[in-house]
Amino acid sequence: MTPTFRQLRLLLALAEHGSISAAARARHVTQPTASMQLRELTRSIGLPLHELIGRRVHLTAAGEQLARTARAMADEWARFEQEIDGMRGLRRGRLRVAVVSTAKYFIPRWLGDFCGRYPSIDIALEVLNRDGVVQRLRENLDDLYVMSMPPPELELVTEELMPNRLLLVAPAGHALATRRELPLAALAGERFILRERGSGTRMACDEHFRRQRLTPQVRLELGSNEAIKQAIAGRLGVGVLSEHALAHPPMSEALTVLNVKGFPVAGHWYLVHPAGKRLSPIAAAFREYLLAAAATQVAAPAVPRARSARTRPAGRRRV
């Protein structure tokens, strides 16, 4: 028996949701029907495709391999449907985007504008920490990814989107707030509140401190920019945050940006997808839109937020 496309889509739903009942709901079939189709699919392949561990269903090695094949087939079919719609003069389809958590401060606005131009598009937006985005990138689950530290071990197409500067932030009224050109050593006695290890912000921050030969006294590691801002405003310490995470001006959040030598730390946001991946017409259109929107934002006059901030335009590079 040859597996059907319906069975393969059900296997993908099982991989995503971790239970047959949830997969059945996602595919709009009854649980007995889903169980029967999965049994038929297993017989077709001749190897177990899933197993129950605890209360969650996991794919076996054969199931994972089949899911990768099924995902590629589904992506290719969706791309074909979009191309046919394009020939008919229509613009519709599904766009899947995964971004690291700090990118939530600007990507949803651009997605909203893009959807305004193409109202028939369905959007799936995943906002995760860096590890979560990298995992989805490895599994080729989305069309495009936005992150600040693309994994060097993967073969990727990486394009600079716009600057992502890291600022040294303190509570409003901090004793060093009025100082200019502070040496980084002046912060040796401060307690730091930083993003969790593995995040793009933390990786860039650790590398900068290593180059500057400073070992920060870390009081808290938090997985949320908002939690870090609240902790800093509560005078638990100072921290390093992306400029995109701060309000205009920072004083409105009871924060101030310290004028410290070596800060802002220069970085970039990158638009990423796996090398060799053929973007769907919708994904290709969104890529072009993002690059144009970012270029416009970089070219616009900077909104003053700290004397230490300077705007540096980003270019593009293709790997």
Structure tokens at 16: 């995503």
Q: What is the pLDDT of residue 82?
A: 72
Residue pLDDT, tens place only, 104-140: 999 999 999 998 888 888 889 999 999 999 999 998 8
Distance between CA atoms of 95 and 123, rounded to whole angstroms? 5
The owner of tokens 């920490």 is 129
Q: Where along the chain do its domains lie?
A: 5-67, 91-163+268-299, 166-257
User: Are both 5-67 and 166-257 of the same fold?
Assistant: no
pLDDT over 70 percentage in the chain = 91
Mind listing the pLDDT tens digit for each residue in 178-236?
A: 888 899 888 888 999 999 998 999 999 999 999 988 899 999 999 899 999 999 999 99
- Nearest to 310, CA basis, from 265, 248, 251: 265
Find out if CATH 1.10.10.10 is the number for domain 5-67.
Answer: yes
Residue 308 pLDDT class (50, 70, 90 cuts):
very low
Q: Among 3.40.50.300, 3.40.50.620, 3.40.190.10, 3.20.20.70, what is the CATH number of 91-163+268-299?
A: 3.40.190.10
Residue 130 vs residues 23, 48, 76, 287: alpha-carbon distances, Å? 27, 32, 27, 20
Nearest to 14 by CA among 68, 45, 58: 58
Q: How confident is residue 89, by pLDDT bands cut at 50, 70 and 90? A: low
Q: Is the dihedral of CA 297, 242, 266, 148 positive or negative?
A: negative
- The whole-number pLDDT of residue 79 equals 77
Q: And the tokens for 198?
A: 């593995």
**Taking 60 as the threshold, does the pLDDT of residue 99 lie above it?**
yes
166-257 architecture in CATH? 3-Layer(aba) Sandwich (3.40)
The bridge status of strand 238-242 relative to strand 166-171 is antiparallel
Tell me what pLDDT residue 86 has.
67
pLDDT above 90 as % of the chain: 57
From the list 275, 311, 269, the residue with the least C-alpha distance to 290 is 269
